[in-house]
Amino acid sequence: MEFPPGAPRLRVVIEAGRSAQEQEIAKLYWEIAEDGTWARTVGSIGELQWAAATATSASYAVLLRSLCVKCDEPIRVANRSWAVKVAGKFLDRPNDKYLCQECGAVREEERERERQHRLEAARAEKERERLKAEEEAAEIAEILAAEEAKDGAGARIPYDSPLAPALYLALVGHAAYRPGKPLPSMVDLGLLGWTADIDRDRDAILDLYAADLLAVAAETPRKAFVFSEGDDSPRFFLTEARWRLVGDSKVITAHARTVKSHYMTAPGQAAHEARQALAELVEHMEIVNLILYLDGLLTKTYQYPEVPEGRRRQLADIVKKGFDAGFTPGQMICFAWRAADTAAGWKERKAMGPAEASSAAVTILNGKIDTAIEARHAIPEYEPPRWHQQPLALDALRELNADVKRVRDRAVMDACLQCDHHGLRETDTGAVVRCVHAPPATPEQHTESQNEPAGA
């Protein structure tokens, strides 16, 4: 049975063995007019749901103008709404989307096969990754074992690097208070790092590692290691590695002593340049540290902004002037504290904004330092507060630099009974060496700097 009879768009197929009434309802249900629209509403056949259920359970329709996109067979539909969905309102729309039932089943099968393939591929990929991770873990373990095995037998102090040995001293000092713990990585330390200069830190650490004074610590995070494709040799990010000092405490102490006396007394151009580099580094770190302190004071204590960008260069010059005049770090902290305090007072009295007050602190600091230099005021030494974070190597390098300076200090040389006025003395074997002006009984004892701070 096909509709409309002249140019059929739809064929009705009724299941065998259906009653005459069911056959009749199916025919009424599927019949379409000449233009392809339904000949009647389902409701006009009988009670709506009963009529639809009876018709669709007894029959289906084949859309003669809507062919399967795969096999060109007309598509079967189970009810009116599917018929319209596939063939459009007039049941004559060419189909570019739907499959016949058979092809649909095949496609379903193909999809299932593809799904299985994908699952298997994913499983294989996961397995590959697992093996790779295992391999990498084994390689990392191997590197760490090699690092662990380093005993410092081939260690040498890298004197060709002016600052690496000094940093070694700082690392030794730091490790002394963290028994059993690795030295932090540069990433752990953040922007300030050891010396307030990440590049310098990295160069020095690389030199110390190459010299076998540092080894990668077992606590180094796995992400520090990199494996590049086609190159199985693992490497690590210098900035991510945590470190241990190579050698037992006796060896390390001996290295530290050697390094210290190199800076203090070694003759020659390289040692001279190392001392200069150390002095410049410490000066730079002191200036950075004081600026950090003032910024912290303004922001944390007073809730002002940091010193404005436009005045930082000037602030650095002012701080340098203070250190050059001989004020100690503690005295400089005192100046900064007083400058911020005075600026806060100005802000109240002169109704300034917070940014103006931060800027005023720079001007005031300059004035206070100038006045103290001129009037030779006694300035107390302040401890930096606990919130203040200084570059980690500052204390150690400051101390080393003071020791180095003391060796060449005119007043100390003149007062020393063991050396001449050049600071040189003769050893038992007749060699001439630089004197460290230590009391003879305890040559290792650390002596405080005798530098007279200006105004103290």
Tokens for 252? Answer: 């390390």
CA distances from 281 to 20, 290, 327 (A): 106, 14, 17
Q: In terms of CB distance, is 180 or 440 closer to Zn ion?
A: 440
Task: Please select the residue that binds Zn ion; options are 103, 143, 402, 433, rule is CB under 5 A.
Answer: 103
On whether the CB atoms of residues 167 and 201 are closer than 8 A, the answer is yes
Q: In terms of CB distance, is 28 or 67 closer to Zn ion?
A: 67
Q: In terms of CB distance, is 73 or 148 closer to Zn ion?
A: 73
The string of DSSP codes covering 299-361 is: IIIS-PPPSPGGGHHHHHHHHHHHHHTT--HHHHHHHHHHHHHHHHHHHHHHT--HHHHHHHH
Place of tokens 């006396």: 261
First to last CA, the chain: 118
Query: Taking contact as CB under 5 A, which single stretch among the options 68-76, 124-132, 135-143, 191-199 is the one that binds Zn ion?
Result: 68-76
Query: Taking contact as CB under 5 A, which single stretch among the options 84-92, 97-105, 129-137, 242-250 is the one that binds Zn ion?
Result: 97-105
Task: Please select the residue that binds Zn ion; options are 33, 48, 71, 411, rule is CB under 5 A.
Answer: 71
- 265 is a site residue for Zn ion (CB under 5 A): no
Place of tokens 């206070």: 368
Query: Taking contact as CB under 5 A, which single stretch among the options 60-68, 214-222, 239-247, 293-301 is the one that binds Zn ion?
Result: 60-68
**Residue 434: CB minimum distance to Zn ion, A:** 8
Q: In terms of CB distance, is 87 or 196 closer to Zn ion?
A: 87
Neighbours of 396 (CB within 10 A): 20
Q: 137: which DSSP letter?
A: H
Three-class secondary structure of residue 395 per DSSP: helix
Q: In terms of CB distance, is 142 or 426 closer to Zn ion?
A: 426
Q: In terms of CB distance, is 11 or 70 closer to Zn ion?
A: 70
Three-class secondary structure of residue 67 per DSSP: strand
**Residue 185: CB minimum distance to Zn ion, A:** 41
Task: Please select the residue that binds Zn ion; options are 62, 68, 259, 264, rule is CB under 5 A.
Answer: 68
Query: Taking contact as CB under 5 A, which single stretch among the options 99-107, 197-205, 291-299, 392-400 is the one that binds Zn ion?
Result: 99-107
- 239 is a site residue for Zn ion (CB under 5 A): no
Contacts of 297 (CB under 8 A, 6+ apart): 336, 337, 340
Beta-sheet strands, E only, within 54-139 = 59-67, 74-77
**Residue 102: CB minimum distance to Zn ion, A:** 5
Q: 185: which DSSP letter?
A: P
CA distances from 190 to 170, 194, 244 (A): 17, 9, 19
Q: 385: which DSSP letter?
A: P
- 70 is a site residue for Zn ion (CB under 5 A): yes
Contact set for Zn ion, span 389-448 (CB under 5 A)? 416, 418-419, 435, 437
Number of residues engaging Zn ion in binding (CB under 5 A): 11
Task: Please select the residue that binds Zn ion; options are 52, 100, 294, 332, rule is CB under 5 A.
Answer: 100
**Residue 70: CB minimum distance to Zn ion, A:** 5
Tokens for 428? Answer: 């038992």
Q: In terms of CB distance, is 61 or 369 closer to Zn ion?
A: 61
Tokens for 68? Answer: 């399967």
**Residue 406: CB minimum distance to Zn ion, A:** 10
Q: Give the residues lining the site for Zn ion (CB under 5 A).
A: 68, 70-71, 73, 100, 103, 416, 418-419, 435, 437
